[in-house]
Amino acid sequence: MKQLLSGLEHCHKQGVLHRDIKGSNLLIDSEGILKITDFGLSTSYDPEQKKPLTSRVITLWYRLPELLLGATHYGVGVDFWSAGCILAELLSGKPIMPGRTEIEQLHKIFKLCRSPSEEYWKKSKLPNETLFKPQQPYKRCIAETFKDFPSSSLPLIETLLSIDPKEQNTVTAALNSEFFMTEPYACNPSSLPKYPPSKEIDVKLRDEKARRQRNIAGKVNAVDVTRRSKGHERPTRAVPAPEANAEIQANLDVSVRLCYTSNCQLHLIRFKLIKFPSCIFLVM
């Protein structure tokens, strides 16, 4: 964090606003030295010359509320705010205000850092004021939200995440914060853990290889389950068609016929008539 603020201090002294400070634009080399990268949205800055600037800069989660309200005149506060989001993110282990839209992002900012005062709204005259002005005022709750953070970090976060630009200090003043003057002190970069070089293309190839292996494993498991289910199936017997059953049953019915003998006595003779495709048998 100290390296980040030192890098921003150097940029601001050279009249440069980075305007896209976020975790993915901060790289650390094998010696533990932090590098601020991606100056694609950076611009020159002169506090004496108030030239209009675009408000469509900085990734949403790290964007100053002024920019969300359409401000076109701003200064070092845009990088200041982003640095505050980074500090809180490092201490919490996750982004602190992950909004999905500009309206949601402003709502998260106001809930955490309080909504601007009426005096602020009157003086600022921002283009999107009427669209995004909250209907009810919010109180500042940074200390309560981050109560588990080191106590020395809270004043610095409070300063970095100031709604009113007038309440923000300089990066030089931030470097002299109590946070950097109390234990545990910032370590020497050379004492940081060493990691092998990593490139974005290597990460993509590694992820693609892992995805293919998962797909192959999934297909093998599916085939194995299918084979097991087939092995447990019981063999089935062939069942004749209903018409064939009816014909056989009719042919096997026991019939009773009346016959007269030579002395005209009536006898009951039981017999079976069995029919086969080529012949007929009479069983007495």
Range of the domain at 260: 242-283
Beta bridge partners of 258: 268
Is position 46 annotated as part of the catalytic site? no
79 and 188 part of one domain = yes
pLDDT at residue 201 greater than cutoff 90: no
Residue 213 lies in a domain: no
* 276 SS3 class: coil
pLDDT at residue 257 greater than cutoff 80: no
Q: How confident is the model at residue 171 (pLDDT cuts 50, 70, 90)?
A: confident
Residue 127 lies in a domain: yes
145 and 194 part of one domain = yes
Q: Residue 127: phi, psi to the nearest 5?
A: -55, -40
* 34 SS3 class: strand
45 and 116 part of one domain = yes
Which of 202, 228, 259 delimits the end of a domain? 202
Q: Cβ distance 54 to 72 under 8 Å? A: yes
116 and 6 part of one domain = yes
How many domains does the chain divide into? Answer: 2
DSSP class of residue 104?
H
Tokens of 267: 């006898």
Between 198 and 204, name the one with better pLDDT.
204
Of the candidate ranges 110-119, 133-142, 208-217, 229-238, the one whose mean pLDDT is the lowest: 229-238
51 and 118 part of one domain = yes
Residue 232 lies in a domain: no
Residue 275 lies in a domain: yes
Report whether the peptide linkage leading into residue 240 is cis, meaning its omega lies within 30 degrees of zero.
no
247 and 109 part of one domain = no
256 and 196 part of one domain = no
96 and 171 part of one domain = yes
Which of 178, 202, 226 delimits the end of a domain? 202
Q: Cβ distance 59 to 68 under 8 Å? A: no
Between 229 and 238, name the one with better pLDDT.
229
CATH assignment at residue 31 = 1.10.510.10
Tokens of 67: 């920019």
108 and 44 part of one domain = yes
Q: What is the mean pLDDT of residues 187-214?
A: 84
Q: Sign (positive/negative) of CA torsion 172, 177, 179, 181?
A: positive
Residue 246 lies in a domain: yes
pLDDT at residue 262 greater than cutoff 70: no
Between 278 and 240, name the one with better pLDDT.
240
51 and 110 part of one domain = yes
pLDDT at residue 172 greater than cutoff 80: yes
What is the spatial distance between Cα 91 and Cα 89, in angstroms, rounded to a whole number? Answer: 5
In degrees, to the nearest 5, what angle opens at C-alpha 118 toward C-alphas 112 and 119?
A: 110
Residue 207 lies in a domain: no
- Per-residue pLDDT reduced to its tens digit, 127-137: 887 777 887 88
What is the spatial distance between Cα 57 and Cα 20, in angstroms, rounded to a whole number? Answer: 7
**Closest Cα to residue 81, out of 56, 111, 103, 59?**
59
**Closest Cα to residue 158, out of 167, 170, 171, 150?**
167
Residue 228 lies in a domain: no
* 49 SS3 class: coil
Residue 79 lies in a domain: yes
263 and 182 part of one domain = no
Q: Cβ distance 26 to 37 under 8 Å? A: yes
